[in-house]
């Protein structure tokens, strides 16, 4: 056999032999594929090792201080919503857990919807479609701000209850021990179904619903007011009045922190506590957590003056902190919503400069783009549109940015 003949023979033999190995193909069923993806994304969230260069190390350290951000895609179709998880996630099987002493964990969806899990809570995204998602609250407190869109379909499940949402903002708590649902509506309305509520109960803005699965009890009351325990039940005959009202309201923990009150939705309590201490003193000498809680509580109560004072106090007293950097974005959004576009753009620029890879970078840049367009700065808007598409080609404002650019 000549070398050439031998080479051809070996070539053919190796190629034939390779057929055996090809039986080990890459086929994988979708559940295993999805499980691998979740495992990877969870590992990326928890990974503490920084990238190689000093610049990346600094950037990551700053970003981790604010939030550990990972991207998650549940479906391959581009039309599917996407979401990312930000915050100190604690893996708990399929659940996203939040340490009792940690900060909130946020789920930021590509349509702008935000779902936050409070300290000590656990939840998961069970399903994502192009129109919304199904979020399961395993225990604790969940806060949601669902962006209203045509055909939007969002559901939050807590125990046997489901909350159907099209566009609204609400807090919901679920106690596994007491099987108690506690829902507070800040905006819009939702339909709640569950034990004693088979036909669904509409809960509107400014209302609070407390429902207990064990007894079928369900009570509506005005938000931020004591629950009217003596009121008749709101649902049909299946709803029984509370036999022991004291069980509906567990004894509150003594002296909750302002952050805990905020997580519980007790915004008025935070502001009243600040009044008692002296708001000026709280803002000028209080710890960072209290200042953040007060600023956020004021925002939720639409007290823009107090909210802005709190945010500015965060920035001046705790400059360089994650909270101070995040405050720049919130200040921009408040100015934006108040019609002060120039001020909004300055704050967005501040946030983007301080947190170029921050959790709200995409939204800050997108909102800056909208503000520039609305202020008539066409050239500036085009420049920002290009930057947005370069950095966030699939972001929530991508379509809007495309529309700002001339046709090729």
Partner 1 sequence: MARVLGFAENRPLTRLRIVSPGRERPEDDAALVAAVLAREPGAAGRMWDRYASLVRGMLRRMLGPVDVEDGIQDAFLRLFRDLDSLRDPTALRSFLIGITLHVAKSELRRRRAKRWLLLSDDGVVAEPEALAADEWDEPRAAVRSLYKMLDRVSDERRTVFVLRYVEGLDLAELSAVLDCSLATTKRRVADAARRVNLLAASDPLLAPYLEGEA
Q: How many CA atoms lie within 13 A of 259 on its CB side?
A: 15
Determine the Cα–Cα distance for residues 54 and 56; give it in Å rounded to an integer: 5
Which residues are within 8 A (CB) of 203 and not within 5 positions of it... i.e. 6 or more apart? 183, 185, 189, 190, 191, 192, 209, 220
Return the structure tokens found at 36. Answer: 């691998």
Q: Which is nearer to partner 1, 188 or 200 (CB)?
A: 188
- Min dist CB 265 to partner 1, Å, is 10
- Min dist CB 267 to partner 1, Å, is 8
Cβ atoms < 10 Å from Cβ of 306: 19
Cβ atoms < 10 Å from Cβ of 36: 11
- Min dist CB 170 to partner 1, Å, is 8
Cβ atoms < 10 Å from Cβ of 81: 21
Q: Which is nearer to partner 1, 56 or 285 (CB)?
A: 56
**Which of the 8 DSSP states describes residue 101?**
T
Determine the Cα–Cα distance for residues 407 and 155; give it in Å rounded to an integer: 39
Return the structure tokens found at 8. Answer: 């051809």
Q: Which is nearer to partner 1, 231 or 272 (CB)?
A: 272
- Min dist CB 6 to partner 1, Å, is 7
CB 158 within 8 Å of CB 139: no
For helices 361-374 and 322-337, the axis angle rounded to 10 degrees is 30
- Min dist CB 315 to partner 1, Å, is 12
Residue 163's DSSP bridge partners are 156, 192
Phi/psi-derived region of residue 170, left when phi > 0, alpha when psi is between -120 and 50, beta in every other case: beta
Residue 166: closest CA among 212, 136, 204, 198: 204
Q: Which is nearer to partner 1, 235 or 352 (CB)?
A: 352
- Min dist CB 226 to partner 1, Å, is 20
- Min dist CB 247 to partner 1, Å, is 29
Q: Which is nearer to partner 1, 71 or 228 (CB)?
A: 71
**Which of the 8 DSSP states describes residue 242?**
P
Q: Which is nearer to partner 1, 240 or 391 (CB)?
A: 391
Determine the Cα–Cα distance for residues 176 and 190; give it in Å rounded to an integer: 22
Q: List b or e across 269-289, with b for residues whose CB sees 16 or more CB atoms inside 10 angstroms.
A: bbbebbeeeebeebbeebeee
- Min dist CB 113 to partner 1, Å, is 9
Q: Which is nearer to partner 1, 215 or 359 (CB)?
A: 359
For helices 322-337 and 341-354, the axis angle rounded to 10 degrees is 160
Determine the Cα–Cα distance for residues 237 and 105; give it in Å rounded to an integer: 39
Q: Which is nearer to partner 1, 231 or 342 (CB)?
A: 342
CB 216 within 8 Å of CB 239: yes
Q: Which is nearer to partner 1, 155 or 196 (CB)?
A: 155
Q: Which is nearer to partner 1, 171 or 217 (CB)?
A: 171
- Min dist CB 76 to partner 1, Å, is 5
Determine the Cα–Cα distance for residues 271 and 269; give it in Å rounded to an integer: 6
Determine the Cα–Cα distance for residues 223 and 229; give it in Å rounded to an integer: 14
- Min dist CB 242 to partner 1, Å, is 28
């Amino acid at each position: 056999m000549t070398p050439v003949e031998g080479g051809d023979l070996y070539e053919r033999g190796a190629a034939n032999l390779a057929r055996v190995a090809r039986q080990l193909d890459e086929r994988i069923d979708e559940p295993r594929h999805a499980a691998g993806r979740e495992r990877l994304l969870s590992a990326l969230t928890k990974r503490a090792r920084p990238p190689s260069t000093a610049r990346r190390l600094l950037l990551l350290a700053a970003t981790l201080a604010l939030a550990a951000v990972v991207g998650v895609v549940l479906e391959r179709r581009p039309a599917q919503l996407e979401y990312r998880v930000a915050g100190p996630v604690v893996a708990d099987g399929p659940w996203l857990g939040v340490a009792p002493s940690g900060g909130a964990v946020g789920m930021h969806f590509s349509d702008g919807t935000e779902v936050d899990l409070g300290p000590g809570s656990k939840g998961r995204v069970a399903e994502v479609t192009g129109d919304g998602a199904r979020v399961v609250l395993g225990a604790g407190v969940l806060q949601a701000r669902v962006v209203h869109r045509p055909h939007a379909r969002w559901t939050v499940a807590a125990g046997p209850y489901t909350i159907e949402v099209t566009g609204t903002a609400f807090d919901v708590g679920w106690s596994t021990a007491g099987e108690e649902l506690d829902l507070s509506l800040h905006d819009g309305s939702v339909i709640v179904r569950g034990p004693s509520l088979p036909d669904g109960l509409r809960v509107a803005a400014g209302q609070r619903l407390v429902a207990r699965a064990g007894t079928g009890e369900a009570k509506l009351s005005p938000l931020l007011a004591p629950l009217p325990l003596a009121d008749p039940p709101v649902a049909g005959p299946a709803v029984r009045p509370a036999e022991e009202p004291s069980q509906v309201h567990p004894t509150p923990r003594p002296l909750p922190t302002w952050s805990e009150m905020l997580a519980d939705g007790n915004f008025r309590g935070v502001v009243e506590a600040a009044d008692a201490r002296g708001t000026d003193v709280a803002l000028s000498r209080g710890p960072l957590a209290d200042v953040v809680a007060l600023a956020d509580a004021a925002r939720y109560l639409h007290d823009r003056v107090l909210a802005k004072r709190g945010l500015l106090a965060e920035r001046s007293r705790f400059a360089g902190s994650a909270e101070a950097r995040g405050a720049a974005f919130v200040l921009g959004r408040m100015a934006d919503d108040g019609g002060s576009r120039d001020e909004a753009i300055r704050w967005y620029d501040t946030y983007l400069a301080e947190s170029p890879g921050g959790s709200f970078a995409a939204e800050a840049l997108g909102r800056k783009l909208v503000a520039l367009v609305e202020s008539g700065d066409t050239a500036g808007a085009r420049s920002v549109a290009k930057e947005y598409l370069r950095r966030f080609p699939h972001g929530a404002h991508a379509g809007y940015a495309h529309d700002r650019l001339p046709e090729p």
